[in-house]
Amino acid sequence: MRKKAWIILLILSVVFLLSSAVSPAFAKDAAEMMAEAAGDHAWWFWPLVLFVVTFALGIFAVLGGVGGGVLYVPIISGFFPFHLDFVRGAGLLVALSGALAAGPGLLKSGLASLRLAIPVALIASTCAIAGAMIGLALPTNIVQIFLGLTIIGICVLMLTAKKAEYPDVPQSDKLSSVLRIYGVYYEDSSGKEVDWKVHRTPLGLVLFIGIGLMAGLFGLGAGWANVPVLNLVMGAPLKISVATSKFLLSITDTSAAWIYLNKGCVIPMMVVPSLVGIMLGSFVGVRLLKIAKPTFIRWMVIVILAFAGIKAFLKGIGI
């Protein structure tokens, strides 16, 4: 199945590159086009740069252990000529597509839990709609300021948050018992079955109100917040938390994506190169994971994110 996705994405990227060459707008002389690109830029310049940059982002996202959306929105809004409305719309679709690509496999392997995701997703997706509506109603510079501050906050979270492989959950809480949120999965590394359950479910659900709001407001995938809440607050094992979080994005981002789509925040010439670039990059990233030095890459991602966060903040205050 993964091979199929590879082939489709490869074809999409080839189509994108080749279409640039056969399009009627390309009937111009190459030298003239290059001259245009150097000055006001030909139409294909920014989509092509977008494709290359998102390909790199896809690699860094996997190696740095973050979602594509969280890198995409601050970097593209900070350094590209696109309005934040379109960047957030594309960012949500990028995060959504990544989640759709990974979700089925994670569900079938039993690592992502539908039972854990359904109540959490209901709250997060409802709040993501509210977040998207607030984000589209607020002045762009205000959203940009808060985006910058959020990204800087995410960097701090990445630097300080701990992870627990198998959190200690002495007893399920009442709500999770009623909802039967528990399960068992096969741990490859130990060759053993791992039973899991969760606690502090009401607190976790309350925190997902904020996560949903931020996902919709900024067009960010919310994996950076999902995982700590599922793992550290609710006590789901790390693997279950990471997999369920990734799958969860397919629901949370769907609701916000519709609001952006209906509001006209989707330009296919931005969305398709971004989506293909980041997904292809992710596939390459997975392969590089075996030889890369994760600590170094993670630091690099944090530095890039911090830089993009500061840039977004400065752009918001007009500097």
Residues 44-103 that bind another protein (CB under 8 A): 44, 46, 81-83, 85-86, 89, 93, 96-97, 100-101, 103
CA–CA separation, 196 vs 74, rounded Å? 36
3-state class (DSSP) for residue 110 = coil
Specify the stretch interacting with another protein by CB under 8 A; choose among 39-47, 55-63, 201-209, 286-294. 39-47
Question: Residues in the chain, how many?
Answer: 319
Task: Give the list of residues 6+ apart from residue 23 with CB closer than 8 angstroms, or none.
Answer: 44
| Minimum distance, C-beta of residue 72 to another protein, in the bound complex (Å) | 15
Among 63, 73, 95, 121, binds another protein (CB under 8 A): 121
C-beta of 105 vs 153, nearer to another protein? 105
Q: Is 42 in the site for another protein (CB under 8 A)?
A: yes
CA–CA separation, 35 vs 16, rounded Å? 21
Among 38, 41, 52, 163, binds another protein (CB under 8 A): 41
| Minimum distance, C-beta of residue 165 to another protein, in the bound complex (Å) | 18
Q: Is 31 in the site for another protein (CB under 8 A)?
A: no
**Binding to another protein (CB under 8 A): which residues in 126-155?**
126, 129, 132-133, 135-137, 139-140
C-beta of 54 vs 97, nearer to another protein? 97
Among 149, 179, 284, 292, binds another protein (CB under 8 A): 179
Q: Is 177 in the site for another protein (CB under 8 A)?
A: no
| Minimum distance, C-beta of residue 7 to another protein, in the bound complex (Å) | 10
**DSSP per-residue string spanning 29-79:** -HHHHHHHHHTT--TTHHHHHHHHHHHHHHHHHHHHT--HHHHHHHHHHHH
Q: What are the DSSP E strand ranges found in 203-292? A: none
**DSSP per-residue string spanning 137-180:** HS-HHHHHHHHHHHHHHHHHHHHH----SS---SS--HHHHHTT
Six-digit token string for 147: 């985006």
Write the interaction track for another protein spanning residues 221-250; mark x where CB under 8 A is met and - where it is not.
-----------------------------x
H helices, E strands: number in the chain: 13, 2
CA distances from residue 269 to 47, 161, 174 in whole angstroms, order as listed: 7, 37, 49
Q: Is 104 in the site for another protein (CB under 8 A)?
A: yes
| Minimum distance, C-beta of residue 108 to another protein, in the bound complex (Å) | 5
Write the interaction track for another protein spanning residues 180-219; mark x where CB under 8 A is met and - where it is not.
---xxxx------x--------------------------
Residue of 310, 276, 292, 269 lying closest to 68 (CA atoms): 276
Q: Is 263 in the site for another protein (CB under 8 A)?
A: yes
| Minimum distance, C-beta of residue 173 to another protein, in the bound complex (Å) | 16
